[in-house]
């Protein structure tokens, strides 16, 4: 059974992450990506913090790790630090990879926890998802 990975990202990168998820989950042409994905790609029609935290916790159930996609504005995200903390508190690893063509600042929640941010490649994403 493939690994189940939680994808963490900034809302501004939703489209790129959706494309990556499609490659990993449903596109047989991308045989190098072999893992299942959970995320919050569904848009939420609420700003209620408790509801969103509950949705994050539910989406993370059954995952083996979190991969943070670091784009140009991820460091500004309110929710990425919460997802990183929740993963670490659950004793699971967090990995980070840059989105292709971006070089925004590294979020403090990654640097403060000694989490390396890798350069983008599908091979690296596969390795992080299955290590």
Q: Per mean pLDDT, which range of 38-42, 70-74, 81-85 is the poorest?
A: 38-42
Cβ–Cβ under 8 Å, residues 103 and 124:
no
Look up the CATH number of domain 4-130. 3.40.50.10140
CA distance 22 to 93: 23
Identify the burial level of 47 via C-beta atoms within 10 angstroms of its C-beta, where 0-12 means exposed, 13-18 middle and 19 or more buried.
exposed
Residue 96 pLDDT greater than 70, yes or no = yes
pLDDT at 39: 65
- In angstroms, the CA 131 to CA 105 distance is 25
DSSP state of 74: G
* pLDDT for 1 beyond 50: no
- Quote the percentage of the chain above a pLDDT of 70: 80
The whole-number average pLDDT for the span 57-82 is 93
pLDDT of residue 54: 85
What's the average model confidence in pLDDT over 34-43? Answer: 64
User: What is the average pLDDT across 12-17?
Assistant: 87
Instruction: Kindly tell me if the per-residue pLDDT of 56 is higher than 90.
Output: no
Torsions phi, psi for 16 (to 5 deg):
-65, -45
What span, in angstroms and rounded, lies between the C-alpha atoms of 69 and 88? 16
pTM: 0.86
């Amino acid at each position: 059974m493939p690994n189940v990975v939680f994808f963490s990202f900034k809302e501004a990168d939703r489209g790129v992450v959706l494309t990556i998820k499609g490659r990993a989950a449903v596109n047989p042409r991308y045989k190098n990506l072999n893992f299942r994905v959970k995320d919050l790609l569904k848009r939420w029609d609420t700003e209620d913090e408790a509801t969103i935290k509950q949705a994050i916790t539910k989406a993370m159930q059954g995952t083996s790790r979190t991969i943070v996609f670091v784009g140009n504005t991820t460091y500004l995200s309110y929710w990425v630090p919460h997802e990183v903390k929740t993963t670490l508190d659950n004793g699971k690893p967090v990995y980070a990879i840059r989105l292709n063509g971006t070089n925004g600042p590294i979020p403090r929640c990654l640097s403060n926890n000694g989490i390396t941010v890798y350069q983008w490649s599908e091979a690296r994403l596969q390795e992080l998802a299955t290590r």
